[in-house]
Homo-oligomer: A and B are copies of this chain.
Amino acid sequence: MIRAGILITGTEVLSGAVSDRNGPWLARRLEQAGVEVAQIAIVGDRPEDMAAVLEPMAGLDLLITSGGLGPTADDLTVAAIAGWLDLELVLDGDLEAQIARIVSALRARRGIEGQAMDAGNRKQATIPAGATVIAPVGTAPGLVIRPDGPVRRPICVVLPGPPRELQPMWDSALATEPIQELLAAVEDRELQTMRLYGLPESQLAHTLREAQRAGIELERLQVTTCQHRGELEITTRVPAAERAAYAAFERFMEDAHPDQLFSRDGSTVEEQVARLLGDGGRTIALAESCTGGMLAARLTDLPGSSSYLKGGIVAYSNEVKTAQAGVPAELIERHGAVSEEVARALAEGVRSRLDSDLGVGVTGIAGPGGGSPEKPVGLVWLAIAGPAEETSTARSVRLPGGRAEVRERAVTVAMHMVRRALLTAGA
Give chain A's interface residues, CB within 8 Å of chain B: 10-21, 23-31, 37-46, 49, 52-53, 55-56, 70-74, 103, 106-107, 110, 112, 115-117, 119-120, 139, 161-164, 167, 191, 193, 200-206, 208-209, 223-228, 233, 235, 285-286, 288, 291-297, 299-301, 303-306, 309-317, 319-320, 323-324, 353-355, 366-369, 400-405, 407
Q: Is the interface of A mostly helix, strand, loop or mixed?
A: mixed
Q: How far is the CA of A169 from the CA of B200 in the complex (A)?
A: 21
Q: Which of B116, B303, B310 touches A367 (beta carbons < 8 Å)? A: B303
Among residues of B, the one whose C-beta sits closest to the C-beta of A53 is B39
A203: which B residues are within 8 A, CB to CB? 112, 115
Tell me if A225 and B74 are in contact (CB < 8 A).
Answer: yes
A18: which B residues are within 8 A, CB to CB? 24, 226, 228
Known contacts A52-B39, A164-B401: A44-B224 contact under CB 8 Å: yes
Q: How far is the CA of A191 from the CA of B297 in the complex (A)?
A: 33
Q: Max chain B CB contacts within 10 Å: which of A45, A206, A291, A367?
A: A206
Tell me if A74 and B224 are in contact (CB < 8 A).
Answer: yes
A104 to chain B, nearest CB (A): 11
A124 to chain B, nearest CB (A): 10
Known contacts A37-B15, A312-B314: A292-B303 contact under CB 8 Å: no
9 A-B residue pairs with Cβ-Cβ distance under 8 Å, sorted by A, are: A15-B224, A15-B235, A17-B24, A117-B202, A162-B227, A296-B296, A301-B404, A303-B368, A312-B313
